[in-house]
Structure 1
């Protein structure tokens, strides 16, 4: 993270606006408050919630609620720590920039590139998922054609301006929020038998305990459920990157951080509570149709499958849109700090980092190609080797916050407008929780399971860290040689 000495002139390129540092001055603040508010609310709702919850319910029964609650608490704590740092120093590099300053250049370099790698792989996953839904509706266009169209449209959106990204994300997120809120309201009415036009019998909360108990597969299933749901929460940190292109970055970050508790509670725990209350956890329709479609069918909502396909497509497009944005801004920030080619720092007349966007989408297209040509070999390796990166990011945020708290208090105590609770004890407890999840993943030896993901992710992370340490040594030796030659 770069800082300007007191009294020094601001860069001539674009004067910083309120709440911005010179680091973001080259990016034009084009995100409005309503954009950031909806990104913050909808960013936590990933396609994984709609698609992956059925496997979690099958593994843990109604106890999956505890899995979601525990992971949700983890996300709340991590976001609180990230919010503390981001509100004090809004940055387009977010946690990578904070790790750079708090832990060293190697940390910022490593976690920045790993995070970029994670999102370009996600681009391929989401493009393929969206293409499958669209091909089902319009089979005249092949699946690869739909993937290409979706990627091109969202690339053009991101290249147009940051405002167009924000507008698309506003509506994508808005649809997700309305859909899941409507699901909770309709499901809640059906649970108590007061939904007009529905013949669903009032079950109350009997289904939580009537079919083998609240934990039909034992307490250990809660941990299995955690492994199945943890990655559906990835993306909640995007608002801290987007805030760097907002005229009121500190206020936006503070607001988003404080609202994360109810967002996780309502959208994740609340909606899953509706599913397992409406239907027995072992109802075959959950595995066959998906948890949300099965729940909608049970209360007599017509065309539930197609409605959910539309919502899932919206979530996929939202993830693609924000993933491309996130990857490009991380590449831009790495370029600013000299950890990526300087060409990635260039912006066009609209303040958009065009080279960073094109570089990110190019690798996304390559990953899409791997998914179609070698889905079970090359692409599976990419998936597995980025599988645990989300947890690595959360760990780095925790360790960075431990150091950054002292730096902020020493340099700009008035900027500490968001504080992590029970510091440093809760920070260390969160580190312990994340470490436990990583270790528990090593017990999952299924094909493409947790053990493979952790080991390959660690291997890739070790390679990136080694590259960063070698670069740092070369840079240090060059500096010493330059000083010695004077």
Structure 2
């Protein structure tokens, strides 16, 4: 018994190498939204969508630098939940922790649903609920073993997404260099003139341009996953800064580069809004299995996202358990023999596993879609609180003058907070997002009040 107590781990194991963290960071910023939703954003505002991606990506890079600066000072910190608790208040940390957990669980349910549909492309006679439960069983096992096995799986998931995007860029570059002409009624010369000729910042009106910002913003959600890995990363003071500094390059290459090439291949006015432009590019080069290839890629993207969401949900609850001494949180403080927050992972994964049941009840399905949209609005609130925590860190005794500092803090910090406020206000431009924005406000007020009184009592 004494031996068991002595060998019971009390801290998360540092099993993630720079290779793992780098790929997980990329996987967190490249999701199915890019592969399937790029057509929607391009049709909304044309080539100026590149500017939307650049602006949004730039401000999220500044937020990542703020997270990195705080984690650099305390690399043993479980997550950005811990720094919000430390530099704002325990109540704020509690609100951010459980709010963030909800924004992980609902998207995980959506990803699991998507995976079931993608697998049916090859196994049409197998019930989706069976596929979903098998996938969940595999991912749960991955997440309950040593963290390095999870990191290895995510490394290969992310690699497939990266190879797909780089293939598109390479094919597009070849078409441009060789003077390729696309066939069909809307075909023509491949080249960047398809972007520059008749260029207009607001081809469909300034309102559509503004509406593109929330869509693009939410395609980046997940970029903060790196902020949950510090306590499990080998040599975090070296790895985390390197990974965060590469965020801007990843945005330029994987988002802006890929979309620019797609619009160079085909005039953006003829890109179908509801279809993946990546499939169209593969078809243009005569690859008849384009649909199957992209189905495999988006399946991998969904598996990567679900895998990371399960990981993040477990670490988020563990961080909350360390920060709070309530009866619920206390249950999740115990780690497994492999230094994994197994209880938190199983609790989160168990809720995700009820996804097939939710789909059987129409009223719950519509409610799920509504709350999933509302969680997107809550993400803006969470990001804003992280930035406010960073401002308080700058005033604290922990501030490290020669640390991994946010660049041009006096300017970039207030501008980043203002940008998040603007994103929230832009939600009111479209009816569906407007409802989500109101739900986000209601959650913030009601759960924020509960968090204040709950933490005070415990």
Compute the TM-score of the two structures, normalised by the length of structure 1. 0.87
Tell me the equivalent position of 1:19.
Answer: none
Whether contact under 8 Å (1:124, 1:368) holds in the other structure is no
Q: 1:440 aligns with which of 426, 433, 448?
A: 426
Tell me the equivalent position of 1:137.
Answer: 122
Inter-partner Cα distance in structure 2 for 1:214 and 1:457: 31
Which stretch shows the higher mean deviation, 373-382 or 132-141?
373-382
Q: How far 1:14 sits from its partner (Å)?
A: 7.6
Inter-partner Cα distance in structure 1 for 2:222 and 2:390: 19
Task: Encode CA deviations 1:166-197: one digit per residue, 9 max, x unaligned.
Answer: 01001011111122112111112213336799
Which stretch shows the higher mean deviation, 363-372 or 263-272?
363-372
Task: Encode CA deviations 1:366-393: one digit per residue, 9 max, x unaligned.
Answer: 3453244235432123213312122122
Whether contact under 8 Å (1:125, 1:368) holds in the other structure is no
Tell me the equivalent position of 1:94.
Answer: 79
RMSD (Å), alpha carbons: 2.4
Which stretch shows the higher mean deviation, 231-240 or 296-305?
296-305
Whether contact under 8 Å (1:162, 1:352) holds in the other structure is yes
Tell me the equivalent position of 2:440.
Answer: 457
Tell me the equivalent position of 2:255.
Answer: 268
Inter-partner Cα distance in structure 1 for 2:56 and 2:181: 35
Inter-partner Cα distance in structure 2 for 1:461 and 1:38: 33
Q: 1:259 aligns with which of 246, 265, 273?
A: 246
Tell me the equivalent position of 1:108.
Answer: 93
Inter-partner Cα distance in structure 2 for 1:288 and 1:469: 43
Inter-partner Cα distance in structure 1 for 2:87 and 2:8: 27
Aligned ranges for residues 371-390 of structure 1 at < 5 Å? Answer: 371-374=359-362, 376-390=365-379
Tell me the equivalent position of 2:149.
Answer: 164
Q: How far 1:434 sits from its partner (Å)?
A: 0.8
Q: How far 1:288 sits from its partner (Å)?
A: 5.1
Inter-partner Cα distance in structure 2 for 1:170 and 1:404: 33
Tell me the equivalent position of 2:282.
Answer: 296
Task: Encode CA deviations 1:430-486: one digit per residue, 9 max, x unaligned.
Answer: 1111101101111211xxx211111112212222211111123334xxxxxxxxxxx
Query: Which secondary structure does the structure 2 equivalent of 1:90 belong to?
Result: coil
Q: Does 1:216 align with 2:199?
A: no
Q: 1:225 aligns with which of 212, 215, 219?
A: 212
Task: Encode CA deviations 1:100-157: one digit per residue, 9 max, x unaligned.
Answer: 0111011100011010011011110000111101012111211122121211211111
Q: Does 1:189 align with 2:174?
A: yes
Q: 2:190 aligns with which of 176, 196, 203?
A: 203
Tell me the equivalent position of 1:370.
Answer: 358
Q: How far 1:206 sits from its partner (Å)?
A: 1.6
Which runs of 5 or more structure 1 residues have no equivalent in the other structure?
A: 1-10, 16-24, 476-486
Tell me the equivalent position of 1:248.
Answer: 235
Query: Which secondary structure does the structure 1 equivalent of 2:353 belong to?
Result: helix
Q: How far 1:424 sits from its partner (Å)?
A: 2.5
Q: 1:120 aligns with which of 82, 105, 118?
A: 105
Compute the TM-score of the two structures, normalised by the length of structure 2. 0.92
Which runs of 5 or more structure 2 residues have no equivalent in the other structure?
A: none
Residue-pair matches, total: 449
Tell me the equivalent position of 1:342.
Answer: 330
Over 3 Å counting, the alpha-carbon distance change for 1:52 and 1:197 in structure 2 is closer
Q: How far 1:45 sits from its partner (Å)?
A: 1.0
Tell me the equivalent position of 2:291.
Answer: 305
Query: Which secondary structure does the structure 2 equivalent of 1:427 belong to?
Result: helix
Inter-partner Cα distance in structure 2 for 1:436 and 1:412: 29
